[in-house]
Structure 1
Amino acid sequence: MVVLATKCYISGEAQTRALDSLQSLIANDIGDLEVEYDIGVRDDDFISVTISGDDEVVARNVLRDEWGAVTPHFSEGETYVGTLESWDEDGFILDAGKNIRVSTENLGLGQGTPSQIRDRYGLVQHMPLRFVYGEDHSSRLADEERDRLYDWTRGTDRVNINSATRGEVRATVNRAGHAHDIVTVERLGLLEQSVICREETDGPGLLSSIGSYVPAELKCVIGQ
């Protein structure tokens, strides 16, 4: 079994649609391998995939590479993926199967409080983030994660959204009449997406327009 570092924290028909979407994504990842698999949701909302068959080791590795994986064991200096659980005046709390605190100074994302940093980079709750594990609360955001977030502020505007699949976000953008205003919808996690605006599109304006269609958290990243 592999536990993916992405969550399904919605319920009812919305959860069914999300898991159907995930089924398709995993089929794209490992459907050509000699395996059978079953998808479940743990009590902590992380996705588990039970895999069996001749290629099960390869399949688990493919899913770990694609989604990140939750592990009960951490090694100093190794990179893992956790979801943004909460934030306070001292930093971020990432859920990686256990709570990992990343202090403000170890975020490496410039000046400001954690809330200001979250707003600047459009970090919605439950978004997967890579971190380097350290003992005694010395964990930090991974260099590649910092680079990714800095790159967001150097490009065109973005609108980040949680609680919706990529397909649902695309449909929402279309329904709001903004299909021509975006480049694409980038998947950050199962239910966390990033709408990449065209150069002439105003991110805050797009957020305002589609916000009423999405019962979710939306954050805007202002590009340069």
Structure 2
Amino acid sequence: MVVLTLLEKCYSFRWRHFLKIFESTLSPLIEGLEVQFKILGKTGENWIQVEVFGSDVPVVTRYLDLKFGLAPVSLENLNVFEEVRGKIVDARRVGYGLYVDVGVSSPRHIDVLLPLHILRSQLGNGKKLSVTNLVEAFALYDNHPLTIQVTSIDRTKGKIEGRLSSSQYSLFEEWVSLDFDRILVLGRPFTEVHRVVKRSNFERDVIKVLPLGFLEQLLLCKLGTEGPGIINGIGSMLPRTPLHCFSPKKARIIREDP
């Protein structure tokens, strides 16, 4: 038997219901293997915890790591240059960078700091942009999933720093280069968001819904469709759910020289 902390969070005012949805999603993924599992709930930082037991535990553990990622839990399990998935927390907490929760909870909870000068270099072409500028331009709001690379660990002081991984950086560069607005829905499972889009009058304006995480979805708008209009149209159908628009035009503007 093993208890795993997955790098998927369950939050929002309907988190208990969403845990049941996650359980029903997980069941068919391990069908046919000699294992049983139980959703234990979530940690204080909202990471989903699963208990797995049976002869195929090693196989399932590896699969869940590939599918969702496994939290390091202890700082001792995290290494420099390692790539790890996480979620943005307190997006505008400080002016010197962005914090990402990667599931480190021992010896205490520690978030990874993406320093402002690194974010400026990776996302802002080196311009002296503020954290707020970058958050708004790239929709770097709470619970936005990111893959980061750890660049330094001070185990004595309990501090971790990182940067966007190569794959994450490339993804943002793709977003900027293509003239498609994108809408982030933070706090709803894929099935609910997909259903809302189909029932709305905006289905023709959305190319597809892409899952970024269990409760984080991305709406790819058709060329010429403005994201804020979609948000205004479907916002009432997704109450108490943060919706944010990424506009490639706005992202390119903040990168340009004055």
The two structures have a TM-score, normalised by structure 2, of 0.79
| Alpha-carbon distance, 1:33 to partner | 2.1
Alignment deviations for residues 85-133 of structure 1 (CA, whole Å, 9 cap, x no partner)? 1232111111122211110122321142222212222233112211111
Match of 2:232 among 175, 184, 208: 208
Letter of the structure 1 residue corresponding to residue 203 of structure 2 = A
Match of 2:81 among 60, 77, 81: 77
Distance 1:99 1:47 in 2: 17
Letter of the structure 1 residue corresponding to residue 208 of structure 2 = T
- Is the CA contact 1:18–1:190 (under 8 Å) kept in the aligned structure 2? no
Distance 1:33 1:124 in 2: 38
Map residues 31-70 of structure 1 onto 2, 5 A cutoff.
31-39=31-39, 40-70=41-71
| Alpha-carbon distance, 1:220 to partner | 0.8
Q: Which has the higher contact order (CA 8 A, sep 6+)?
A: 1
Map residues 3-18 of structure 1 onto 2, 5 A cutoff.
3-11=5-13, 14-18=14-18
2:246 equivalent in structure 1: 221
Letter of the structure 1 residue corresponding to residue 245 of structure 2 = C
- Is the CA contact 1:121–1:152 (under 8 Å) kept in the aligned structure 2? no
- Is the CA contact 2:112–2:161 (under 8 Å) kept in the aligned structure 1? no
Alignment deviations for residues 123-168 of structure 1 (CA, whole Å, 9 cap, x no partner)? 3311221111122554212111111122122332110011111112
Letter of the structure 1 residue corresponding to residue 153 of structure 2 = E
1:192 equivalent in structure 2: 216
| Alpha-carbon distance, 1:5 to partner | 1.1
Letter of the structure 1 residue corresponding to residue 210 of structure 2 = E
| Alpha-carbon distance, 1:34 to partner | 1.9
1:116 equivalent to 2:141? Answer no
- Is the CA contact 1:124–1:161 (under 8 Å) kept in the aligned structure 2? no
Determine helix, strand or coil for the equivalent of 1:60: helix
Identity %: 26
Determine helix, strand or coil for the equivalent of 2:213: coil
Alpha carbon RMSD of aligned pairs, Å? 1.8
- Is the CA contact 1:123–1:219 (under 8 Å) kept in the aligned structure 2? no
| Alpha-carbon distance, 1:211 to partner | 2.0
- Is the CA contact 1:91–1:102 (under 8 Å) kept in the aligned structure 2? yes
1:141 equivalent in structure 2: 164
| Alpha-carbon distance, 1:79 to partner | 0.9
2:96 equivalent in structure 1: 90
Letter of the structure 2 residue corresponding to residue 126 of structure 1 = N
Q: What is the total number of aligned residue pairs between the two structures?
A: 222
Q: Could you list the runs of 5+ residues in structure 2 that have no partner in the other structure?
A: 104-109, 155-159, 250-258
Letter of the structure 2 residue corresponding to residue 145 of structure 1 = Q
Q: Could you list the runs of 5+ residues in structure 1 that have no partner in the other structure?
A: none
Distance 1:32 1:205 in 2: 45
Larger radius of gyration: 2
Distance 1:3 1:196 in 2: 30
Tell me which stretches of 4 or more aligned residues in structure 1 moved more than 3 Å. Answer: none
